[in-house]
Structure 1
Amino acid sequence: MIDRQHLRIVHAIHQHGTMTQAAKSLYLTQSALSHAMKKLEHEFNVPLWQKEGRRLFLTQAGESLLGLAQRILPQFEHTEAQLRRFAEGKQGTLRIGMECYPCFEWLLKIVAPFLKRFPDVDVDVRRAFSFGGLQALHGYDIDVLITPDPLHLDAITYTPVFSYEQVLVMHSTHDLATKAFIAPRDLAQETLISYPVETSRLDIFSQFLTPANASVKSHKTIETTEIILQMVAAGRGVTALPKWLVDESQESELLCCRPLGEEGLTKTLFVGHRKRTDTLGFIDSFVEMAMAQGLKTNSPQQ
């Protein structure tokens, strides 16, 4: 029978590659680790790994077991963390994944009232996923995912929160400020400043420049919205951001925005979460609060 310890061992072997390091990471002796896996191999009459020098490599059967470990172990950890929170008299932690860099400022407007409504719930926001937000949500590493580019799975529900226009932002005296809208070829001699995200996930490339077989003179990346806008306000380049964010910026008087293309580039922000029942109620409440804030963001006063 496969148990949790087998999954932990296979996962550790995959991570560390040697019996010594895997056993050390699990606080086991090498003999105990080896005995547990030999017993499982004997039960199913199939090898789970092979040795080449000092390193261990999973067989096809071992890779199958690893896939199970990668799906199940995070769920164990999530449930155990929740149980510990219950034991401390707290409801839990809402773990939010962000696939929209500029939307962090928008999220802050939801977090404060959420914490007030749920004083026993903590909030953890994660903005970087080397493996992608959808996988983190499906694998129980996060509870909700804020994204403008939902990838649909049967187990995930996406709720549209609000729509916004993605615009080109430049200094108010920039030559392109005289145009009614920006064409892809207009950026051929420009320095584009963006977040450190692969270009395939940047709308200005994937939905504007690349389809027109166009590009920019140079491309710089900066982590924070504030610095990007300060760079643009200083005439160091142009950027593409949601219009509402530019309107709220402290640098707005030095900046101007123009639509990307004659029809503009409109995006919708979604909140994704697993379809399983939210027994504690705070995930559903977060979605409701996000929708309410979305209405405020889209209101004429904003």
Structure 2
Amino acid sequence: MIERIHLRIIHAVKEQGSLTAAAKELCVTQSALSHTIRKLENNLDTEIWIREGRNLRLTQVGQYLLNIANRVLPLLDHAEEKLKQITQGERGTLRIGMECHPCYQWLLRVVSPFLDTWPDVDVDVKQKFQFGGVGALLDYEIDLLVTPDPFYKSGLSFQAVFDYEQVLVVPSNHPVALHKYVKPEDLRDQVLITYPVAADRLDIYTQFLSPAGVNPRLHKTCEATDIMMQMVACNRGVAALPRWLANQYSKTLPLAVVRLGEKGIDKKIYLGTREGDAGIEYLKAFIDLAKALNSPTA
């Protein structure tokens, strides 16, 4: 089997002109160098070079291996340097998985200054995981998970980065628009529009409707927040969003924001990482920046 050391030796002998000089360059003894090449020649059943007096002449096989060494060794050296930079947190790609549909706009506010600060680190955002993000984190498909529902498991770490309140968004002419808060019964005859997530992972169900034994008249789903808010504004239904996001849309659309229940529904957004990645500098920097922007409207 051809190994990297074989390519190193052939390249060094060609560059240095002799076995003695090549051995010195590679910090090995000449006998060890000769033994390594002799073993390769035995495995290949052919010679690498031929002695002509005090000089070495590469055979056709040796020249072919030298050509490979000239191409492969620089690539391996570059790969090692890049891996070293990644390990030291200087270069790489930060792969972010999103389990929080409405947090995308907040994420953009973190990504922009992060990219400015870390020019050698790229960012890739993946939203396909929905509520399979923990598995993606454990399987190294992503490096950081944005989620409102941390799943604490060995090897993972979750840090809260901001608090928010889940609220109900209704048309401005809706009967409950001027109420201080709504009760579960107020939604019994309503069309509820949510993101395409299972009901048992939606706060408006788990923390509001289901405990009261109430279901809306109809449940529709919509992936795009803009379209969802347009539908609500046009009296096609009601929706639950973080207050900071709902307030943004209510400035430009005929919408009203109402608390869910007398005490409201308080939530947090967490960033999940693998404990083994704690030493990656750019990952730590991203989390620190997210904490500094601890309010989506900051």
Provide TM-score, normalisation by structure 1. Answer: 0.68
Could you list the per-position Cα deviations for residues 165-196 of structure 1 after superposition, in whole angstroms to 9, with x for gaps in the alignment? 10000111101113221111110110011111
Mapped to 2, the partners of 1:225 and 1:86 lie a distance apart of 39
Q: For structure 1, which runs of at least 5 residues remain unmatched after alignment?
A: 1-79
Q: Is the 1:246–1:252 contact (alpha carbons within 8 Å) kept by the matching residues of 2?
A: no
CA contact (8 A) 1:91 1:280 kept: no
Task: Report if the CA contact (8 A) 2:250-2:256 is conserved.
Answer: no
Structure 1 residues 84 and 199: alpha-carbon distance in aligned structure 2, compared to 1, 3 A threshold: farther
- Distance in 2 (CA, whole Å) between partners of 1:204 and 1:264 is 11
Query: Which amino acid counterpart does residue 226 of structure 2 have in structure 1?
Result: E
1:84 deviation in Å? 8.3
Instruction: Within 5 Å, give how 1:101-112 maps onto structure 2.
Output: 101-112=101-112
Q: State the partner residue of 1:169.
A: 169
Number of the residue aligned with 1:156 = 156
Q: Partners in 1 of 2:100 and 2:277 — Cα distance?
A: 26
SS of 2:211's partner is helix
Q: Which residue does the alignment assign to 1:211?
A: 211
Tell me, in whole angstroms, the C-alpha distance in 2 between the residues paired with 1:283 and 1:205: 34
Deviations 1:249-273 (A, max 9, x none): 2754511111111100010111111
Count of equivalent residues: 218
Query: 1:234 Cα shift?
Result: 1.2
Secondary structure in 2 aligned to 1:134?
helix
Match of 2:27 in 1: none
1:207 Cα offset (Å): 1.1
CA gap of 1:92–1:193, structure 2 versus 1, over 3 A, is same
Does 1:120 pair with 2:154? no
For the 8 Å contact 2:163–2:295, the answer to whether it is kept is no
Partner of 2:232: 232
* Distance (whole Å) between structure 2 residues aligned to residue 244 and residue 295 of structure 1: 9
Which deviations, in whole Å up to 9, do the C-alpha atoms of 1:102-127 show, x marking residues without a partner? Answer: 00111010111111111111111111
Q: Deviations over 1:109-158 (max 9, x none)?
A: 01111111111111111112167111111111110111110010121111
Partner of residue 100, structure 1: 100
Contact 2:209 2:215 in 1 (8 A): yes
- Structure 1 residue 255 corresponds to structure 2 residue 255: yes
Q: Which runs of 4+ in 1 moved over 4 A?
A: 82-85, 250-253
Q: Secondary structure at the match of 2:122?
A: strand
Q: What residue number does 1:86 align with?
A: 82
CA distance in 1, matches of 2:295, 2:242: 15
Cα gap change, 1:241/1:85 in structure 2, threshold over 3 Å: closer, same or farther? farther
Q: Say whether the 8 Å CA contact 2:130–2:197 is kept in structure 1.
A: no
Which residue is equivalent to 1:184? 184
SS in 1 for 2:276: coil
Task: Give the Cα–Cα distance (whole angstroms) in 2 for the partners of residues 84 and 170 of structure 1.
Answer: 56
Amino acid at match of 1:264: G
Aligned to 1:62: none
Structure 2 vs 1, CA of residues 271 and 83 (structure 1 numbering), >3 Å: closer, same or farther?
farther
Give the whole-Å Cα distance in 1 for the aligned partners of 2:252 and 2:127: 25
- 1:173–1:155: structure 2 CA closer, same or farther, 3 Å change rule? same
Q: Secondary structure at the match of 2:293?
A: helix
Task: Report the counterpart of residue 195 of structure 1 in structure 2.
Answer: 195
C-alpha separation in 2, matches of 1:85 and 1:241 = 45
Calculate the aligned-residue CA RMSD, in Å: 2.4
